[in-house]
Amino acid sequence: MPDPVPMLAAEDVARSFDVSRPWLQRVLAGEGKRTLRAVDGVSFEIPKGTTLSLVGESGCGKSTVARLVVGLYRPSRGRILFDGVELEQARADAAQRRRMQMIFQDPYASLNPRWRVRDIVAEPIRAFGMVSEAAAQREKVAELLTQVGLSPLDGEKYPHEFSGGQRQRISIARALSSNPEFLVCDEPTSALDVSVQAQILNLMKDLQRRLGLTYLFISHNLAVVRQISDRIGVMYLGRLVELAPAETLFTAPRHPYTRALMEAIPDLDMTGRQRIPVGGEVPSPISPPSGCPFHPRCPLANARCKAEMPALLPPRGQPDTIVACHAVEEGRDPAPAPAGADQRMGTTATAL
């Protein structure tokens, strides 16, 4: 029986940023403070040994969720539980901290340029006092570097001596070094070529099978997301708009935004299928639209959508999925079609 306590639970989590102009400019222009709601009321659970992925447009709040989940930002509202314990309490305990690691979107900014790679990789091992003997530490570092497709000899070099993808592999090796149980991976493979990407994804899947690791995974590459995820959350303007088992999301996407996203996937087969960017303006998170935040771009929008925020509900016949859409709830959306198929739903609002 699966452990009923999820590795991670987010309950109605929100985070805003103050993006006001400097005080004097603001006073001169006679404008008030401006806040940006990067994440707004997001709830999910990640059962142990499974992978939840987050997808969605750039700026929709994925990295902010990742940073909230590992305690780099504090939520403005809501709470986060790590293995049943309040995150802040868990973070105060080194033994708990060791259990979670994050791989950052930007491998350049997260590696100390003055340290040798072997010291970068060994840092968590030392910080948590996991292996004390120098020889054993060296061996562990060599093993980690080999696992991510680098050579143990690379440990002597500095980060600037590596290419972008090689640096990303160093940050993966570092994240794995403290034997974490929960890994937050923000775009871990986007700097990697397809061959190394395949190796890293295989490694991640293998670690999950062998050691039962739990992942929160963020990627723009939907093919990669399909390979790694158990469940996928689609975010739009700081909110979850659809949360579904991975296969269901690809075979029967429901939310109009999810369907638009599937349509925008680049076409490797060069069938000449026109790739369709999600139509309309990307709305501003500073002044989000009323009602359903997707309504200015949605071909199915009606008066109710402009006024009333839809709740996350399971659509008929898909009990494992939740979708925040009035059209789906009312059963007036067209039948779902698999990813890559033409998802266009009439031309009303989607002026391209």
Partner 1 sequence: MMQVQDRPLGRGPGPILEVRDLRVEFPTRRGVLTALDGVSFDIAPGEVLGVVGESGAGKSMTGAAIIGLLEPPGRIAGGEIRLNGRRIDNLPYEPMRRIRGREIGAIFQDPLTTLNPLYTVGRQLIETMQTHLDLSDREARQRAIGWLEMVGIPAAAQRVDSYPHEFSGGMRQRVVIALALCAEPKLIVADEPTTALDVSIQAQIIALLKRLAREKGTAMMLVTHDMGVIAETADRVAVMYAGRVAEIGPVRDVVKAPKHPYTDGLMASIPPLDRKVHHLAGIEGAMPRLSAIPRGCAFNPRCPHVFDRCRVERPELLDTGTTRAACWLYDPASEKQAPELFRHA
Ligand X SMILES: Nc1ncnc2c1ncn2[C@@H]1O[C@H](COP(=O)(O)OP(=O)(O)OP(=O)(O)O)[C@@H](O)[C@H]1O
Q: Is 133 in the site for partner 1 (CB under 8 A)?
A: no
Q: With respect to ligand SF4, which residue has the nearer C-beta, 3 or 308?
A: 308
How far CA 27 is from CA of 17, 55, 261, 286, 287, in Å, comes to 20, 39, 41, 19, 20
| CB 99 to ligand SF4: min, Å | 38
Of partner 1, ligand SF4, ligand X, none, which one does residue 294 interact with (CB within 5 to 8 Å by kind)? ligand SF4
Q: At what angle do helices 134-147 and 117-127 cross, to 10 degrees?
A: 120
Q: Round to whole Å and give the CA distance between 14 and 34.
A: 16
How far CA 326 is from CA of 262, 271, 289, 303, 314, in Å, comes to 20, 34, 16, 11, 12
- Using the contact rule CB under 6 A, the part of the chain among 110-118, 129-137, 154-162, 261-269 near ligand X is 154-162
Q: With respect to ligand X, which residue has the nearer C-beta, 59 or 334?
A: 59
Helices (DSSP H) in 177-301: which residue ranges?
Answer: 194-211, 222-228, 246-251, 256-263
| CB 252 to partner 1: min, Å | 14
Q: Is 298 in the site for ligand SF4 (CB under 6 A)?
A: yes
Q: Round to whole Å and give the CA distance between 314 and 255.
A: 11
The site for Mg ion (CB under 5 A) is made up of 63, 105, 163-164
Q: Is 262 in the site for ligand SF4 (CB under 6 A)?
A: no
Q: Exactly one of 88, 139, 267, 320 binds partner 1 (CB under 8 A); which one?
A: 267
Q: With respect to Mg ion, which residue has the nearer C-beta, 168 or 321?
A: 168
Q: With respect to ligand SF4, which residue has the nearer C-beta, 129 or 331?
A: 331
| CB 319 to ligand SF4: min, Å | 20
How far CA 161 is from CA of 118, 140, 267, 320, 329, in Å, comes to 13, 22, 34, 47, 54
Write the burial class of residue 281 (CB in 10 Å: 0-12 exposed, 13-18 middle, 19+ buried).
exposed
Q: Is 10 in the site for ligand SF4 (CB under 6 A)?
A: no
Name residues contacting ligand SF4, limited to 181-210 (CB under 6 A): none
- Using the contact rule CB under 6 A, the part of the chain among 24-32, 157-165, 252-260, 336-344 near ligand X is 157-165
Which x/- pattern, by CB under 6 A, does the window 158-177 give for ligand X? --xxxxxxx-----------
List the one residue out of 34, 32, 30, 110 whose CA is nearest residue 70. Answer: 110
